[in-house]
Chains A and B, each alone.
Chain A
Amino acid sequence: QSVLTQPPSVSGAPGQRVTISCTGSSSNIGAGYDVHWYQQLPGTAPKLLIYRNSNRPSGVPDRFSGSKSGTSASLAITGLQAEDEADYYCQSYDSSLRVFGTGTKVTVL
């Protein structure tokens, strides 16, 4: 049972903007801990997409952006592309342990 809840799926047409929420509590995101996001393309290992709430590693397109407020965080994908179809996971810290969100499948229509 993950302590970080994400919607199971989101979808959008190419070019659209989609957002994925990551809802936590006062013991994780609400305690001020950073949120990170990962993209997992089919059959591959996860890849760091956003770190420390809103920072993009080198090579990640600026179509991807992250934010955090209160006990939740969000990942936005603008200008959705076919290659963005993947699973996305948030990750934070709770009770001295790293925790992942439940994961969201993004489908490009």
Chain B
Amino acid sequence: EVQLVESGGGLVQPGRSLRLSCAASGFTFDDYAMHWVRQAPGKGLEWVSGISWNSGITAFADSVKGRFTMSRDNAKNSLYLQMNSLRAEDTALYYCAKDIGGTITADDAFDIWGQGTMVTVSS
């Protein structure tokens, strides 16, 4: 079964850091680009970041650029999002999503989604 399972969310104070993980199974992980997409409570979807199949290219939304980094370990079929200098506006459900293709520099879709991990930034 093709599956993505996120973990690492929780309650964190403004200015602190948090690292999210996503465990992939059921497909050849290192063939595909991967992404993080978030959804604030009651709001729409926002693409956060993406990484190519071989980690050669990463990209970030302007709202998180310089604060978030993204990495993957193809040997462990795992994806990571390191979130630093967290703000209240980063509060959201964070989804891990699989790309249809291998690069992030393309107009491709996300064909597999995890169930999400909730991040709450509050003092």
Contacts and interface: CB of A to CB of B under 8 A. Distances in A.
Given A33-B107, A45-B113, A100 B35 contact: no
Interface string A33-48: 1101010100011111
Contacts of B37: 46, 100
Which DSSP category, helix, strand, loop or mixed, fits chain A's interface?
strand
Range class of the B interface residue count: 20 to 34
A46 B113 contact: yes
Interface in A18-77: 33-34, 36, 38, 40, 44-48, 51-52, 57
B46 interface: yes
A99 B47 contact: yes
A108 B89 CA distance: 32
Given A45-B114, A51-B100, A93 B106 contact: yes
Interface in B42-97: 44-47, 50, 59, 61, 95
Sorted nearest first, the 4 A-B pairs with minimum C-beta distance are: A93-B107, A36-B109, A33-B107, A103-B44
26 contacts: A2-B44, A34-B107, A36-B110, A38-B45, A38-B110, A44-B115, A45-B95, A46-B37, A46-B110, A48-B111, A51-B100, A57-B111, A87-B44, A89-B44, A89-B45, A97-B47, A97-B59, A97-B61, A98-B35, A98-B47, A98-B104, A100-B44, A100-B45, A101-B44, A103-B44, A103-B45
Interface of B: 35, 37, 44-47, 50, 59, 61, 95, 100, 104-111, 113-116
